[in-house]
Structures are given as structure tokens and as C-alpha cells.
Chains A and B, each alone.
Chain A
């Protein structure tokens, strides 16, 4: 096992719907950790990501060898879609910091009458009661403001970094965005990042 500098462990789960850019976000966070010389290990389940399924990433910072996170052991949960944040609550505990987008993307099962979309306000209260802290805002709106709905992932990343719950620095994340995102989209993504950071400050 590779010896890395000792530090406490932070466990982050990101849940999203296929196509929302979860894997890119995880990559950016991983690169940022690498740039900051913070030990990082990640895993992802994305077999059917392109077919509308759920995509879950686990990112473990610090002194741990495992790449996955057990139920009840996430320190931070970032949800790109509110019903997916709800579904992932089993990963949380009474101390978990939850950051979620509030704009719903109902699965197709709802349209064909094979499922009911939960009431957003109820979900919010529930998360507040069951976890340590909730930061909930319409990240889809901010993404459109930045220039494209596709930037939702970077808006949430901006909020997470600004809230100070991840061990990666703002500078390293920005540098990772600059190297990981296609050149033409860097500016737009940096704007999304700032809008997310602003939302974090408003929702403190």
C-alpha cells in the first residue's frame, strides 16, 4: 500500500442522473486533489450512464485504502437531482453535509405512471432532519445563467468547494477545470463555478 501523508479522511458521494456530468466532476475533484498532493481514491458505477440510469461516484480523501463508501459513512453528499439525493440518504449519517440541486428531473417511470415524484419541500425537510446540514438551491437555473444547463455539475462543484467541506483548495479546482474541460467551455464553466460559489455564500 502506497504511503501518503497522514490526514483525516473525508468521504464524498456524488449522485446524478446519466448525462448530468457526474464523472467529469469526480475527475476534476480527483485532479484537484492530485494537484494539492492530497491522497485521493475514487470509484464509480456507470455501466448504464448513457441510458438514463443513476450514476454514483465515491471519492475518498485522506488516509484510507478503500475506494467505496459504505452506507452511513459519507461526510458529504452532493446530489445533482433531488429525488436522487433522497435515494442516496442511506449513505448519510446525522453529521453528513448534503448539497443538492432542487430542480427535479423526474424519471420516465413517473411519466408512464409507474412511480410518484416526491414533494420537494417534504424532501428538503426530511434531509434537514436526518443529516447534519443541508444546502439546497436551484443549480439548474444558475447553470442556464452561466450559459448552458449542462454546467449544472460545475455550479454544484463551486458550491461544494466554497462551503469548505472538501479538502481541495479553490485554486486547485479551478486549475483542474482549466485542464480537464474542453477549451471552448472553460470560461463558461468558470462562470458556473462562481455562480455556485455565490449560492453557497447565500445559503450558509
Chain B
């Protein structure tokens, strides 16, 4: 049985934030879930995927976040408790659906999880998705701890059903990827049979209907504001002239800081957990009792702006600060010492700064950037394209996935990236705006996610570039989730279809389509060269299963290679491929047999042909 299906209310389990969130949904009787994977949200869906195999829960990996939201919107409008999970930038993709779904509303509870990533541990931006709640008019909840995340999920479903609106459940990386003991609650029965009642005058958003629905949304917001005022999640703790307003994980830092500074008897903390709509009355009442107020929130001054506006409306002249030169930044994430320092300085309280040792005389540790794995086929593909394009001035738009790492030297294959699918759209633009050759890279999952419209655009507008689809048969970066091109039979899962990338690309009207096996270096270079010579849109599908995924499927890897004595130390292998299986031992190039998976690419690259398979594996 899955750990998160443990029956035993009151039992304490050590759970990752994302596990606590998944458990909270299960306890709430979650019937239907859809997602597109993205760090830091991925473990929520991974757990629900596993749970769905042995329970009535329906779960799917959708092709992208917009589709996932549409799928769950329909389930929720058929009365099912539904969950849609994504990382923060995923909500940009789903925003079109979100904005009008807010008008239409839901019947069964729908919770939309947006996992924000301050500091961008694994993201391309650190946008603050609280503004999506404001933009769409939807209610929003934000947990402050792992323990609270479990319980708040249940309340999110109740809130959604009370208001008949989707609820935005906003987390940040430090909630998703923190771990703490969590006390389990009872698991509710799943109601998994949905029913849809036709009601086109409220569900088909033609202008005449939407004008009415917008009125309803505003009425709902007024009701939500009342619930926010009364919510336990917006609670005042402590008393005193100092006021701190905080949300999310910042609450934990504030809590520790107030204790460490010994100002519990002087400080009142207002924790905002139901953060859209903001509880105006509660906040203005809080302001009136304080001499000074500090707003502690990572990201944008979302609460600060609201608090200042409330103060202005009420004519309260208490000093309110948050973001500023000597205060909090909009950049990065916070930490306990930073919050302690800012609270101490703002309220003029003495404190001891942590004594960080003077490390000016310490040698620098060599950088350890993440690297494509030993035996990763992307490395081989990049090598082939580089050789095929040698001597030409080529622009390489890239995309989001493991293969983005190829932008680092020595491969240096990646010149432009903004979002999922952007390799294809920007290739269209670069090929028109410049006279340069353009070769774009996109992974299989990203291609299904949002590369397809760009490629159709390229065919229709007759652009001139080569798109290399790096098909490693899985969504590798986020932990090997399935995508529409994956052979689900390999996972012993039945009831799935499969989309062929070749057939799809040909059907779009791409006339030059080729498939390479990147571990065959010479042939791959030749094939890519033909694609580059083609005038118009050409597609090269580089097909080789992700080496980590293959390992997880218990597939046999190749025999490791070694560098024989014939080595003349050209180091083409190490300098051009940068495979992490290589290391230098007393000036000699060596291969770590524990890392080498026998892809043989380096053996084909070596001018001396001195890299050979090991005879026996010890």
C-alpha cells in the first residue's frame, strides 16, 4: 500500500511538503487530478500517480498545464473533487483557461496548486503568482508549514465548494521541499462518479453570458472577503506595539525571530494564510493598535500594497514598510537571520548578527555545475550537430529540460531561451530577422507541451531552420514522468495511447524529416548535415532513451570503456564531450568504469581509436 494511503488518524509520519499536500488531498476525498510536471511541484503528482494505480482516484499527466486545467475544470463541473498541479510558470500556460473558468466556476471542489520558486532553484523566473489570484478574482490559500499544508488542502476543497469557485493553493519551494512530522487525519470516501448538468446560459461564455458571470464573480469575491475576515488562517498572535504582517514560509522565520530577539511581549504577528481577498477589517484593526508595522513576504509587495491601501482608506497613519533599500528585497528567498536582522533594525531592538568566519584566505572550491549524465544521448546529439554545422555561423535556440545544460561549455549549444516551447517560435523569428543558420533544440515532452504550434507556424509561414527533437522517451528533468510519446507498456501500464513524433511532424507538413541514433556518431553527423542543407523547415528526431530512465527500467547498460596505452593525450574526448565519466589521473585521461555506461561516443571521437570496451567488468 502507498505510504500516503496509511489509515490511522492521529498517526505521525515524516513527510515532504509535497507528500503532505498529496495526503491532504487524499484525506479530502480527491477523485480527479491532472498535471504537467514541474519542480518544485513534481512530487505531489508523482505520489498521486502512484496512488491512482490502487484506488478509485483518476490521475493523468496532461500534455501541458492549460490542458490539465481544462481537464480538471470539466471534472469539477461534473461534481468531482479535482486537483490541478503545476509550477508557477505553468500557470502562465494555463492562464487563458483560468481567467474565464473564474467566471464559470465549479460544482465539485477544484484546487489549483501553483508552486512558486523564489531564488529560482529550478526555474527560469521568480514570478509571484499571488497576483494571479488578484487578476482572476479567485480565492487563494497559502500554508506556512508542511504540517499546515496537509490540513489546508482539505479546507481548500471546502472553500471551493462553498464559493463554487476554483481555489488557488500557493506554495513556495521551501514548503514543497521541506520535511516535517505530520499528524494524519481520516481519509474521506471518494465520490468518483461525475454527472454533468447542461446549463449553457451559465456555462457557455458568449458575451451575453459572460457579462452576467462577471457580476457573479464580483459577488463571489465579496463573499470570499467575508470568509477571509473570519478565517482562522488569518490570525493574530501576541500583543504589543510592534506589528508584523507575514505569509507563507516567512511566518516561520518571523516566529523564530520574535522568540530569538526576546520581543514576544512587544510584538503582534498577523499571519495571512487566506491571502485573496485580503481581510481588510482584520488588517485595519491590527494597524490601529501598532506603532509601526513591518510586512514580511518573499517576492513582490503583494500584501504591503494592500495593507497600505487599507491604511489610506481608513486614514490610519501608522508607518508601514516591507520592501525597501534597508529592508526586504523582491529578489531571492528569505532566511531566518535576514528576517531577524530586519525586524531588529526596524523596531530598534538589539541583536547579535551571526558570526560568519572570515573566509577571505580560503581557496575557492572548484565549481560543480550540474552536467549532462555520463552516457546522456543529448551530449552525442549536440556533438553531431556541432560537427555538421562546423564552419557556419549558427544560432541555437534551446528549450526547457535536461538538455538546456548543453548551453554550458564545452558543448556551448544553446543561445536563447525564454519558456517552454520557445525554441521553435524563436527559431521562426531568428531565421527571418537574420541571415544566419538556425538550429533549434527541444525535448520530446516539451515538444508535446508547446512546441507543436511553433512548428505549424514554421511550415505555414515557410521559415528556414532545422528543429532537432531530442527524444529520450520520457520527461527526464522532473523525474521521468510519462508524455504522449512514451511507451507505457515498458512501465507495465495499460490503457494508454501513444503519439508518434515522426507521423505528427510529417502530418504538419514538414517535408524533410529524419531520425538519428545519436550514439552512431558518423551517421548522425551526415544525416544532420543533410537536414541543415535543406531549404525550409527540416526536423531531425534524435532518438535514444534517457540513460537514467533506462536504468530505472532495469535495462542492461553497455560495457564500460577504458583508455588504452595508445592514448596520445589529444583529449578530444574530454575537451569536446565533457562526459563526467572522464577524469585526469597523473596527467592521463581515465574513464570511471562505475560511471561509464558504454555509449561508445568517445571511442568514435578519439583520433587514435584508443578508447576500448573493457573485456570484463569487475
Q: Which residues of A contact B (CB under 8 A)?
A: 1-2, 17-18, 26-27, 30-31, 34, 39-48, 50-54, 63-73, 83-84, 86-87, 89-90, 92-94, 106-112, 114-119, 122-123, 126, 130-131
A42 & B178 in contact (Cβ 8 Å cutoff): yes
CB-CB under 8 A from B584, the residues of chain A are 110-111
Q: 1/0 per position for B514-556, CB-CB distance to A under 8 A?
A: 0000000000000000000000000000000000100000000
| Closest B residue by C-beta to A130 | B357
Instruction: Return 6 A-B CB contacts under 8 Å, by A number.
Output: A41-B146, A41-B180, A48-B370, A83-B365, A86-B362, A126-B362
Which residues of chain B from 32 to 69 have any CB-CB distance to chain A below 8 Å in the complex?
Answer: 39-40
B179 & A41 in contact (Cβ 8 Å cutoff): yes
CB distance from B173 to the nearest CB of A (A): 8
CB-CB under 8 A from B365, the residues of chain A are 83-84, 86-87, 118
B372 & A83 in contact (Cβ 8 Å cutoff): no
Of B178, B368, B370, most A-chain CB atoms within 10 Å:
B368
B180 & A42 in contact (Cβ 8 Å cutoff): yes
Complex partner residue of B368 from A2, A31, A53, A130, CB under 8 angstroms: A53
* Interface size class, chain B: 35 or more
Which secondary structure dominates chain B's binding surface? Answer: loop
CB-CB under 8 A from B116, the residues of chain A are none
CB-CB under 8 A from B574, the residues of chain A are 111-112
Complex partner residue of B355 from A63, A69, A86, A93, CB under 8 angstroms: A93
In Å, the complex CA distance between A48 and B40 comes to: 12
CB distance from B137 to the nearest CB of A (A): 31
- Known contacts A31-B14, A52-B368, A65-B255; A112 and B575 CB within 8 A of each other: yes
| Closest A residue by C-beta to B355 | A93
A94 & B548 in contact (Cβ 8 Å cutoff): no
- Known contacts A64-B256, A70-B336; A93 and B357 CB within 8 A of each other: yes
CB distance from B257 to the nearest CB of A (A): 9
- Known contacts A71-B356, A112-B578; A51 and B373 CB within 8 A of each other: yes
CB-CB under 8 A from B357, the residues of chain A are 72, 89-90, 92-94, 130-131
In Å, the complex CA distance between A45 and B117 comes to: 12
Q: 1/0 per position for B365-404, CB-CB distance to A under 8 A?
A: 1111111110000000000000000000000000000100
A45 & B366 in contact (Cβ 8 Å cutoff): no
CB-CB under 8 A from B350, the residues of chain A are none
CB-CB under 8 A from A119, the residues of chain B are 363
B253 & A66 in contact (Cβ 8 Å cutoff): yes
CB-CB under 8 A from A27, the residues of chain B are 14, 179
B367 & A114 in contact (Cβ 8 Å cutoff): yes
- Known contacts A66-B252, A71-B354, A130-B359; A52 and B371 CB within 8 A of each other: yes
CB distance from B309 to the nearest CB of A (A): 29
A65 & B256 in contact (Cβ 8 Å cutoff): yes
CB-CB under 8 A from B121, the residues of chain A are 45, 47
B338: Cβ under 8 A from any A Cβ = yes
B366 & A106 in contact (Cβ 8 Å cutoff): yes
B583: Cβ under 8 A from any A Cβ = yes
